Amino acid sequence: MSKARDFILDIFMPTRCPCCEGFIKWDKLLCEECERALEPVDNSNEVPPAGCSAAVSAFKYDGAAKQGIYALKDGWGISFAVYTAPLLAEKLKGCGADLITCVPMAKRKANERGYNQAEVIAKELSKLMGIPYDGGLLTRRTTSMAQHDLETASERAEFAKTLYGIADGHSDITGKKLLLADDIHTTGATLSECAGRLLSMGASDIIAVTLCRTVKEK
């Protein structure tokens, strides 16, 4: 989006911080207070979801970051993804990925929201890292049940197994190293299912990339 357009839009729809909903300057993505409140995570001790060789995320899923994810899921907080993507790109420097894809969303839901937030993240990374994006590898079926309605990790894993499929006419990913983007890494059930499909399609390696992850308190 052009700067001039952002400026004009701001007059009619003032820019809000996705993490606190406070008004911010038209050329800002987050307010300074929330920027400071975001808690970076150390990825060296992050256990990758099954099927992934590594998992990279930027922030602990808590406080300001949690609100940012809510805003992103709510259809207006894209700036949280735009803010976080460069931090992820920096962490992923030299990872040698050939292609970036994302966790798919059911078409109806993406239409309601106006976008698939995982796709927004993947496309930002593609732009920043100069690695091609391919959103046509996986599909997700439509269901009235949401994964966060399920309580236990095993319930989530069982549910995730029924959700994802391989897209007809997808491109050849044999031997390719892929980045798999999503908004949040919680139990890893979704990322793991998608990684499994991608490996069965011939991918050689999958790295999970998320804005936030849940961190267990020690």
Q: Is residue 29 a contact residue for Zn ion (CB under 5 A)? A: no
- Near Zn ion by CB under 5 A: residue from 7, 25, 29, 31: 31
Q: Which token pair is 3?
A: 């700067």
- Near Zn ion by CB under 5 A: residue from 19, 29, 122, 163: 19
Q: Is residue 34 a contact residue for Zn ion (CB under 5 A)? A: yes
User: What is the closest distance, in whole angstroms, from the C-beta atom of residue 113 to Zn ion in the complex?
Assistant: 21
User: What is the closest distance, in whole angstroms, from the C-beta atom of residue 67 to Zn ion in the complex?
Assistant: 8
Which is nearer to Zn ion, 17 or 194 (by Cβ)? Answer: 17
Q: Which residues contact 113 (CB under 8 A, 6 or more apart)?
A: 73, 75
Which is nearer to Zn ion, 24 or 173 (by Cβ)? Answer: 24
- Asked if residue 47 lies in contact with residue 55, where contact means CB atoms within 8 angstroms, the answer is yes
Segment interacting with Zn ion, rule: CB under 5 A, options 19-27, 72-80, 88-96, 171-179: 19-27
- Near Zn ion by CB under 5 A: residue from 20, 82, 106, 110: 20
Which is nearer to Zn ion, 30 or 209 (by Cβ)? Answer: 30
Which is nearer to Zn ion, 76 or 110 (by Cβ)? Answer: 76
Q: Which token pair is 80?
A: 């949280």
The span from the CA of 184 to the CA of 143, in Å, is: 20
User: What is the closest distance, in whole angstroms, from the C-beta atom of residue 19 to Zn ion in the complex?
Assistant: 4
Segment interacting with Zn ion, rule: CB under 5 A, options 28-36, 40-48, 137-145, 201-209: 28-36
Total site size for Zn ion, rule CB under 5 A: 5
Q: Which residues bind Zn ion (CB under 5 A)?
A: 17, 19-20, 31, 34
